């Protein structure tokens, strides 16, 4: 099975100034594309050759196959929720859940950004919901690790921010907090809601 690179839902120039066309060019056309090319090469003649991307992630152990497959999935998930004309608020049920946990949408963003600044190295910051309780939480995963890597895991990802330096360094240099503030301006809650339901 060929692992495809999904097309972007937006014009690469359209997220500026939050995310520049140059960043999208490097991030999507170079980094994301490279992960897709790598995984397609790595699975040839292996037990993973005919599996879906999700199955490859769940059945591979730590190493290049897992890393590249998980990076493809994480980037698909990240780019899918970006939009130049985003829905800037979640709908009632999701909003109620956020308010119940964090008090307000703004306070949720503050806590999310705090989490996204707290780690050392390269990682992803996620809003997740528990499959059983529907409770929301914010988590970090290092390198390529993804909430979907363990099928037993009850964490369902709803949104992700890429906090690898390549996601923001061209536009923001070392000012990661500014990238995180502007990330919310292009995050489409419509997509997050769809994942929540
Ligand atoms: Mn990235």
pLDDT in tens, 152-167: 888 999 999 999 999 9
Burial 37-63 (b: 16+ CB within 10 A, else e): ebbbebbeeeebeebebeebbbebeee
Distance CA 3, CA 39 (A): 8
Distance 74 CA to ligand 1 centre (A): 8
Q: Do residues 114 and 168 share a domain?
A: yes
Distance 164 CA to ligand 1 centre (A): 6
pLDDT at 115 over 90: yes
Distance 168 CA to ligand 1 centre (A): 9
Question: For the packed helices 92-102 and 105-118, what is the interaxial angle rounded to 10 degrees?
Answer: 60
Residue 14 lies in a domain: no
pLDDT at 124 over 90: yes
Q: Do residues 119 and 60 share a domain?
A: no
Instruction: Report the CATH number at residue 66.
Output: 1.10.287.990
Q: Give the global pTM.
A: 0.96
pLDDT value, residue 97? 96
Distance CA 8, CA 23 (A): 14
Q: Do residues 109 and 164 share a domain?
A: yes
Distance 60 CA to ligand 1 centre (A): 21
pLDDT value, residue 77? 98
Q: In this structure, what token pair is assigned to residue 102? A: 């964090």
Distance 139 CA to ligand 1 centre (A): 17
Distance 124 CA to ligand 1 centre (A): 9
Distance 101 CA to ligand 1 centre (A): 28
pLDDT value, residue 153? 83
pLDDT in tens, 67-98: 999 999 999 999 999 999 999 999 989 999 99
Model confidence at 102, in pLDDT bands (50, 70, 90)? very high
Q: In this structure, what token pair is assigned to residue 97? A: 């859940």
Distance 134 CA to ligand 1 centre (A): 28
pLDDT at 1 over 90: no
pLDDT value, residue 110? 98
Number of domains in the chain: 2
Domain span at residue 133 reads: 92-196
CA 79 to chain centre: 7
Residue 22, phi then psi, degrees to nearest 5: -65, -40
Distance 143 CA to ligand 1 centre (A): 10
Model confidence at 169, in pLDDT bands (50, 70, 90)? very high
Q: Do residues 54 and 149 share a domain?
A: no
pLDDT value, residue 24? 98
Mean pLDDT confidence for 104-117: 97
Residue 106 lies in a domain: yes
Distance 133 CA to ligand 1 centre (A): 30
């Amino acid at each position: 099975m060929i692992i495809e690179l999904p097309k972007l839902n937006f014009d690469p120039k359209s997220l500026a100034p939050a995310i520049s066309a140059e960043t999208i060019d490097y991030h999507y056309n170079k980094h994301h594309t490279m992960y897709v090319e790598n995984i397609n090469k790595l699975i040839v003649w292996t037990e993973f050759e005919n599996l879906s991307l999700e199955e490859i992630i769940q059945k591979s152990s730590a190493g290049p196959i897992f890393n590249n497959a998980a990076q493809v999935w994480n980037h698909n998930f990240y780019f899918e929720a970006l939009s130049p004309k985003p829905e800037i608020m979640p709908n009632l049920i999701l909003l109620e859940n956020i308010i119940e946990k964090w008090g307000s949408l703004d306070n949720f963003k503050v806590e999310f950004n705090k989490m996204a600044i707290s780690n050392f190295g390269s990682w992803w910051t996620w809003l997740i919901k528990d499959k059983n309780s529907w409770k929301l939480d914010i988590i970090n995963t290092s390198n390529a690790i993804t909430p979907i890597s363990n099928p037993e895991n009850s964490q369902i990802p709803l949104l992700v921010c890429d906090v690898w330096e390549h996601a923001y360094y061209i536009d923001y240099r070392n000012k990661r907090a500014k990238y995180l503030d502007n990330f919310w301006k292009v995050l489409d809650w419509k997509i997050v809601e769809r994942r929540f339901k």
